[in-house]
A and B are shown apart, each in its own frame.
Chain A
Amino acid sequence: MSQTSSTEEKLDHLKHYFVDSDQQFEASKMGMWVFLVTEILFFGGLFVAYIVYRSWYPELYLLASEELDTFWGAVNTAVLIGSSLTVAMAIRSAQLNQIKGLIINLWITIGLACTFMVIKYFEYSEKFAKGILPGSAYSYDGVEHEKANIFFSIYYMMTGLHGIHVLIGIGLMIWLVFKAKKKVFHSGYYTPVEITGLYWHLVDVIWIFLFPLLYLID
C-alpha cells in the first residue's frame, strides 16, 4: 500500500526475497493468473469434446438436454454469481481492514457454494435413480438416441470437474476464515483472499458457459 499507516507497518508476511509488499502481492497474483491459464486449458479439453460430439450428433444434444432442469440450472447460476459478489465484497473488506466483514462475507460465500453443491446433489441423484449414469453404466431408455450416454458422459465430466473445483473452493475459504480469525490479514496483506477470489471467479466463469451449453439447448 502506498499510504503507510501512522503506527508501525505490519510486515510479518513479507518474504526477504521481495523488495516490498507490493512486489510480493503482484508476483503472487501473476502466479495465480498463470495457474488460471492452465485451468482454462484444462476445462478447454472438455469443451472441445463437447463441441466435437455436438458437431457429430446435433440432434442428440437437443433430445438429451431435455432431461436437464433449466430452472435448477438457472438457480445455480444465480447462486454462483451471488457468491462471486460476496467474494468480491470479502476482498473489499480485507482491503479496508474490516476483518469482521471479511469473515462474514467468506461465510456467506461458503454457504452459497454449499447451496450450489446441494442442488447439484439433487440433480445428480434424480438422474442416477433413472439410470442416467456416465459411460457404460448408462441404462436409461427415455432418450431416443443410440448415443444418449455420450451426452451424459460429457455432462458428468464437465459438471463433475466443475463441482470438484467448487468443493476445493469451499475448503480454501474455510482455511481463509481460520486465517482471518487469527488476525493474519489486514489492508497491507490479504494476498490469499485476493488469489482465492480470482480462483472462485474463474469457477463462476466456467459455470457461466456450462449453463447455456448444457441446460439451454432446445
Chain B
Amino acid sequence: MSGHHISSAKFLWGVAIALFILTFITVAVTWIHIPSPWNVVVAIAIAVVKALIVSAFFMNLYWDSKFNVLLFVMSVAFFLLMIGITLLDTLYRTDPIPSF
C-alpha cells in the first residue's frame, strides 16, 4: 500500500518555507495595486497554489491512493458547480438586489 510515506524533516521544512514565501508574496502584491479584476485573480491563484502544496505534500495526496485524490478533486468540482449554478441565478436577476 502507498499509505506510509515518511517525509524527511528537511522536506517538510522546505514545504513550510515555500508556504511562508507565498504568504509574503500574496501580501506584497497588494502594495503594487494591480488593477481591479487581476488583483483578485492573482490572490486566488496564489491561494490555490498554496492549497495544492498543502494537500499534495502535507496531506500526502502526492503519495496517496488515487481514490483519495479523486475524492478531493470531486469535492472541488462540486464546489465549483455550486458557485456556477448559484451565480447563474444571482448575476442574471431582472429584479433589483433583495433587501437582505
**Closest beta carbon of chain A to B98's beta carbon, Å:** 9
Assess whether A44 is in contact with B65, with CB atoms less than 8 Å apart.
Answer: no
* Complex: A195 Cα to B67 Cα, angstroms: 16
Interface centre among A29, A89, A211, A216 (most CB of B within 10 A): A216
A56 at the interface (CB under 8 A from B): yes
* CB pair B47 A209 closer than 8 Å: yes
Tell whether A37 pairs with B9 under 8 Å between CB atoms, given A22-B1, A51-B87, A78-B23: no
Q: Which of A82, A89, A211 contacts B9 (CB 8 A)?
A: A89
Complex: chain B residue closest to A94, CB-CB: B6
A208 near B54: Cβ-Cβ < 8 Å = yes
From 84 to 123 in chain A, residues with beta carbon under 8 angstroms from any chain B beta carbon are: 84-85, 87-89, 92, 95-96
Q: Contact between A37 and B75 (Cβ–Cβ < 8 Å)? A: yes
Query: How many residues of A are counted as interface, with CB atoms below 8 angstroms from the partner's CB atoms?
Result: 51
B46–A55 CB distance below 8 A: no
Q: Is the CB of A89 within 8 A of B12?
A: yes
> What class of interface size applies to chain B in its complex with A?
35 or more
Q: Is the CB of A30 within 8 A of B54?
A: no
- Is the CB of A1 closer than 8 A to any CB of chain B? yes
CB distance from B4 to the nearest CB of A (A): 6
Contacts of A41 in B (CB 8 A): 75, 78-79, 82
A26 to B68, CA, bound (A): 10
Instruction: Report chain B residues within 8 Å CB of A55.
Output: 87, 90-91
Chain A residues near B30 (CB, 8 Å)?
Answer: 70, 216, 218
Interface positions of B (Cβ within 8 A of A): 1, 3-4, 6-7, 9, 12-13, 15-16, 19-20, 23, 26-27, 30, 33, 39-40, 43-44, 46-47, 50-51, 54-55, 58-59, 64-65, 67-68, 71-72, 74-76, 78-79, 82-83, 86-87, 90-91, 97, 100
8 pairs of residues in contact across A and B, judged by CB atoms under 8 Å: A25-B1, A41-B75, A41-B78, A51-B83, A197-B59, A201-B55, A213-B43, A218-B33
